Chain A
């Protein structure tokens, strides 16, 4: 398998795996747990390595996952004392575990290739050098590992879809129906830990955090259901991975960093451009509503005085500002808006409703 394809495949499978569990983290307000776990797994890897003296041992995966879960348990314990808030508890636990990991590396493992830079940064560019064969194909080891994790995450999301949805959107109901939110919580945390370890040697922990949070966050701005959000975040994560790779090739820089950067660009685009929830469409909506509501008021005003003796005064286009208590300039704007939207027309200086405008006014008066 050629170099480019192995890097791309690994990057995409890591990206999708991360984005699936990331979606759940973002929705459960646990985004920073991924940051905490991605740092503290270092301790698990070091401990398992010191025990087995083998960098390829599956124990590394298990040890790291165990420490990942331990991180969350410790955070919960600290929260249980009610002496700290959640942010402080997280900020206390993971640097401690990480520091112990760094100290152990410096003291014990100095002579092997296990340095903390690699954990944080990873080197996607070299995944093709370490291969294993599966079904007669030589595939990068990182790719095999990350697709196994991707499969596990996918299974978790598909099998527990209903339960997850319930526990995210109504934890109380989930508990009262007899689902165990705690079990799901720890299952999720374990998967995040395993994903962190599987990703770390390919892409490093910082990129893992970027892939776990940015695409789901962007997806949340685009979607209306959990399924949509999962789909969008997998798509956005894969796009960022591929885009980041080509960016890295173009400017000849670190692949993991470029993928993180393209996750950021992806989020920025969604933030600006998302239909309905994006910044730009919100500005447009607000600008629209600034005139829409007064125009509706005006329609009601005219409907009230239509065909009555006072109509020539109340509905005269020159008197609108006074009768509606508006500034003259604003009144002109509103009248222009209403005419533009065919809510009213002017006849000999008197404003009259169109059919459409009358419909709007009647509907408002009926419900108001």
Chain B
């Protein structure tokens, strides 16, 4: 706890944590829309495509003001998404190829410009590897301000057009038919996603920013079917991964922030896929087992009933193995469940079973037979 306390009182660590949390929240919340629109990999493409924008912005302005660089990144990321949709609309190429082309070619061009920029005397170290892998630990107050400002702008815009964005994400045809400017809303939403991505590039880098768009949203999706809940949860998961990553890398030596954030977010997603209450694999499997057990008990109950149906004594004990004659196998555990339910009881020492009055009634009701005279 002391370690945590001293960590939290450290100004630099606090700045980094705040920045990562805001970043995670924005990316997580906007990522949900990318997920719904099957654009998860757009994040990957955009974050690579932003490089030439950053380099050119630096070349033109000569400043390393995060706001200028973000605007450059936004412009070229946006151009990249436009190209992707132009390619898919006008050729037989599918979206995956279009994304791949934009991603790699833009990145290559960015690289070329960056090498040239780095030769300029004013450049200092414009830090390519910062751009690739991010460097959250050097985040300054003004970086956090930029993230804060742009992140809030993104979220406000999202809140403002909530209804419209919801509609175009789930049913774009209907949205268009109601007279909404579908194309423009689509572009706005994509721009917001681009913005959410580019503000994080400095902090967590190209490869990892794309993960921050995918992972928290994918985790949140497992918990709810309501858009608002998923968006809020996505933001929460993103923020948690950001804070966790910042804290871990501040307290352990030689642990890069960006990758740790990604690992945390991914682990969170895997856990969500495994354990989430409704959609999780484990609860799903348990439900499956329970329903199999339920069907099994029904079938055995009915079979036992058939055995005594025309018997004057409906409560005569039978060997459970006799059920094999009708193709059923009564496992001990299933019989135990039925005893617990009070439908069946053991009788005698040979392990034979007989229906109880309650079980007989239940079986008759489920088969729909007549009462014996």
Taking Cβ atoms with an 8 Å cutoff, the residues of A that contact B are 26, 29-32, 34-35, 39, 78, 81, 83-85, 87-88, 90-92, 95-96, 98-100, 102-103, 106-107, 110, 115-117, 120-121, 206-207, 209-210, 212-214, 216-217, 220-221, 248, 251-254, 256-261, 263-264, 267, 271, 277, 279, 282
- Pick 16 A–B contacts, CB within 8 A, sort by A: A29-B94, A31-B96, A87-B40, A95-B207, A95-B214, A95-B215, A95-B266, A99-B207, A106-B255, A256-B108, A257-B108, A257-B109, A257-B110, A257-B115, A271-B87, A271-B91
Contact across chains for A209 and B41 when beta carbons are under 8 A apart: no
A214 to B215 CA separation, bound complex (whole angstroms):
28
A192 to B86 CA separation, bound complex (whole angstroms):
28
Task: Give chain A's interface secondary structure class.
Answer: helix
A115 to B129 CA separation, bound complex (whole angstroms):
10
Contact partner of B96 (CB less than 8 A), chosen from A32, A39, A85, is A32
Q: Which residues of A contact B106 (CB under 8 A)?
A: 264
- Contact pattern, B 29-41, Cβ under 8 Å of A = 1, otherwise 0: 0000001001111
> Provided the pairs A92-B266, A103-B255, A254-B112 are in contact, do residues A264 and B215 lie with their beta carbons within 8 angstroms?
no
Q: Which residue of B lies closest to A96 (CB)?
A: B266
Tell me the minimal C-beta distance from A21 to chain B in angstroms. Answer: 13
A251 to B279 CA separation, bound complex (whole angstroms):
55
Taking Cβ atoms with an 8 Å cutoff, the residues of B that contact A are 35, 38-41, 43-44, 48, 87, 90-94, 96-101, 103-113, 115-116, 128-129, 132-133, 207-208, 210-211, 213-215, 217-218, 221-222, 254-256, 258-260, 262-263, 266, 269, 273, 279, 281
A213 to B102 CA separation, bound complex (whole angstroms):
10
Contact partner of B40 (CB less than 8 A), chosen from A34, A88, A252, A257, is A88
Contact partner of A282 (CB less than 8 A), chosen from B90, B260, B269, is B90
Add 10 more A-B contacts to A91-B41, A99-B259, A103-B256 (CB < 8 A): A31-B97, A87-B40, A95-B266, A206-B104, A210-B105, A251-B112, A260-B105, A260-B111, A263-B104, A264-B101
Contact across chains for B108 and A210 when beta carbons are under 8 A apart: yes
Contact partner of A91 (CB less than 8 A), chosen from B44, B90, B112, B260, is B44
Q: Which residues of B contact A34 (CB under 8 A)?
A: 100
Contact across chains for A213 and B100 when beta carbons are under 8 A apart: yes
Contact across chains for B104 and A99 when beta carbons are under 8 A apart: no
